[in-house]
Amino acid sequence: MSFQFGSNCGDSSRTSTGISAIVSTDISSIGNEGSVTSYTKSPGGNMYYIPSSVGEIAIPFTHQVFESLDKGYKFYKDYGWLGGFSVQKTTEKRDDDGETILLKHYVCIREGFNDPKDDSGDKVVQRRQIASQRCGCKAKMVLKYMAGGQYFVFSFVELHNHPLASETGRQFLRVNREMNINLRNIVFDSSKVKIGCITSFSFVKELAGGYSNVGVTLRDFRNFNRDLKTFVGENDGQMLIDKFKVNQENSKSFYFAYDVDSAGHLTKMFWADPIGRRNFELYGDAVSFDATFDTNKYNMIFAPFTGVDKHDKCVTFAACLLSQESIEDYTWAFDHFVKSKGRNPVVIITDQCAAMKKFPVKLGNPLCKETDFMEKMKNRIWSSNLEIHEFEEGWETIIKEFKLEGNKWLSDMYAIRSSWIPTYFRDEPMFGLLRTTSRSESENFFFGQFHKQGDNLYEFWIRFQTTMERQRNETARLDHESKCTTPTTIFTWYIKDDTADLFKRAIFYKFQEEIIRSCLDMQIKRMSEEVDGVTHLEISDVKVKDKIFKLIYEKISFGGGSAFDSFNPSQQYPGGYSSIAFA
């Protein structure tokens, strides 16, 4: 089927008596500041409205020719934008081949009527109070196929049976609202840093210079965010697994493992990226591991493996998601942690190490409110300055004094004392930096700024990446400051330049603090003669009463002849013991 009308030039053609070529025009920029709508009354008293702020060149007319359906639709859509109404595509008629569209209808969005809801039954149906737009408007434009794949205006009805949008109301018309790629990216990127639709929409409004310039409404932002969640749906676990597989293909150093239950639900997930694995090689002697909750809508437990870097800041080595806190799940996570790193850490600090501090829960509030009891626990058990025999004596004394011999929980904790009492592993390297799970608690708080309970697993992963970017960018900033600045010293001492070059800024200031403390708080009670470069000292600390600390000092000569203590810092001696050697 074909029709022959006018010429084949431009997007549209129009004349008063026929059809001739005119220049293609973007009518979205045509309009005036006068009234938006003119209206008239029919003999029966009905009101009809005609857009009056549209230039003649922007108004469709019968026999107008368009190169394609898309161009015809855009022309009518722009006409609606200027006239104050939205348009939509409706019915069409196709040729026998099923491909060619012979007739296409474009109508006012208020065309037709809503189907009535049948609430006559016994069951009460609660419905949202949504105002209906449809009122049987007859305004439309119908395009018909013609030779060469073009279309002409077969029918055009200009009259509307409803008021049209005002100048200020145009911004709310559906025809004027579009979530383009830039706005979609803003919603998506904002969600990475836990910024909701209200805040992100307000930000865009400020950039655009007003609500009318945004091009969408807050509801459009929320609907797009909802559609993102709907797209992921219940496949978020599989999407996360697929993402990890792609990461592993791109980098062989990316390690991940997962487990599912009999129903195919994800129950365990572990991952470690190349940077995390590299950080473990540098700072992985002491690792803190603590679980946190409320990071996703499935209530899976999030547990990062945390250490301390050269700036005395938390650094993430790996992380896992677990469906429950069980020995089996934790064993699975630790096994994959060791497998991904290639070795065991020297020390792992877990939340079990902090369990003995939860006395109000385990022993009862009345006992823990006794100042004497808590003070004795602190001095005779928790102190890292105790020898093993001193801890054993203190434990036995407290158990007998407060009649706790029959407490099963205390008995169980005593049986594994070598894994949580500080005095048993105070000599382990780096242990002084991770004596409690406070590092993990700090890390969990940091992650909590980006995650929220309603996140699906894929949203969780996106926000986890954002968290890692922030953590690693902070490390880069501190590296730069340490390299390009000189630390402020309180006084002049001969090893200042060496230590300033050796340590990063945060560590240098801690070391300087220790030097000062060694001068003010430490006293050398006895010092032996040096034999083969080794000197024995007995030191007291004014802050630790009735305690003498023994120190073995050994000189190690370097190229410049400087002598340094050969021991790594630990909690066996006062904090400033290593500084005395430099004083």
Same domain, 154 and 101: yes
**Residue 232 predicted with pLDDT over 60:** no
Q: What average pLDDT does the segment 209-215 reach? A: 82
Q: Has residue 415 been placed in a domain? A: yes
Predicted pLDDT at 189: 80
Q: Is 576 within the bounds of a domain? A: yes
Q: What is the pLDDT of residues 339-364, one digit of tens each?
A: 999 998 877 777 654 444 444 445 55
Selection from 167-171, 176-180, 239-243, 355-359 with the highest mean pLDDT: 239-243
The pLDDT of residue 501 is above 80:
no
| Cα 293–Cα 295–Cα 301 angle in degrees, nearest 5 | 45
Residues 144 and 41 in one domain: yes
Mean pLDDT of 266-279: 94
The more confidently predicted of residues 416 and 563 is 416
Please report whether residue 195 resides in a domain. Answer: yes
Rounded to 5 degrees, what angle do the CA atoms 493, 495, 499 make? 120
Mean pLDDT of 305-318: 90
- Kindly state whether residues 326 and 466 are assigned to the same domain: yes
Judge if 160 and 36 occupy the same domain: yes
CA distance 173 to 28: 14
Residue 250's CB is within 10 A of a number of other CB atoms, namely 9
Top-confidence residue, 150 or 46 = 150
Q: For the residues 257-267, what does the mean pLDDT come to?
A: 86
Alpha-carbon span 494 to 484, nearest angstrom: 21
**Average pLDDT of every residue of the chain:** 76
Number of Cβ within a 10 Å radius of residue 271: 22
Asked whether residue 11 is domain-assigned, the answer is: no
pLDDT band at 44 (very low <50, low <70, confident <90, very high): low
Q: Is the pLDDT at 456 greater than 70, yes or no?
A: yes
Confidence of residue 271 (pLDDT cuts 50, 70, 90): very high
- Would you state the pLDDT for residue 473? 93
Residues 189 and 169 both lie in one domain:
no
What lies within 8 Å, CB to CB, of 287 at 6+ separation is: 305, 306, 307, 317, 345, 347, 348, 349, 434
The rounded percent of the chain whose pLDDT value lies above 90 is 18
The better pLDDT of the pair 467, 427 is held by: 467
223 in a structural domain: yes
For residue 526, the surrounding DSSP H or E stretch is strand 522-527
Between CA 220 and CA 391 the distance in angstroms is 64
Count how many domains the chain has: 5
- What residue has token string 């509030």? 365
pLDDT at 24 over 80: no
- Rounded distance between C-alpha atoms, residue 371 and residue 67, angstroms: 89
Structure tokens at 101: 């569209």
Task: Specify whether 491 is located in the same domain as 545.
Answer: yes
* Same domain, residue pair 317 and 360: no
| pLDDT exceeds 90 at position 71 | yes
Tokens of residue 1, six digits: 């089927």
Sequence-distant (≥ 6) Cβ neighbours of residue 66 within 8 angstroms: 11, 12, 72, 75, 143, 150, 151, 152
Average pLDDT of 366-395?
74
Task: Kindly tell me if the per-residue pLDDT of 469 is higher than 80.
Answer: yes
- Say if 16 falls within a structural domain: no
For 73, the domain range is 27-117+129-175
pLDDT greater at residue 39 or residue 382? 382
Indicate if 304 and 370 belong to the same structural domain.
Answer: no
Q: Does residue 336 fall inside a structural domain? A: yes
Residue 142's nearest CA partner among 95, 182, 218, 89 is 89
| pLDDT confidence band for 579 (50 / 70 / 90) | very low
338 & 467 share domain: yes
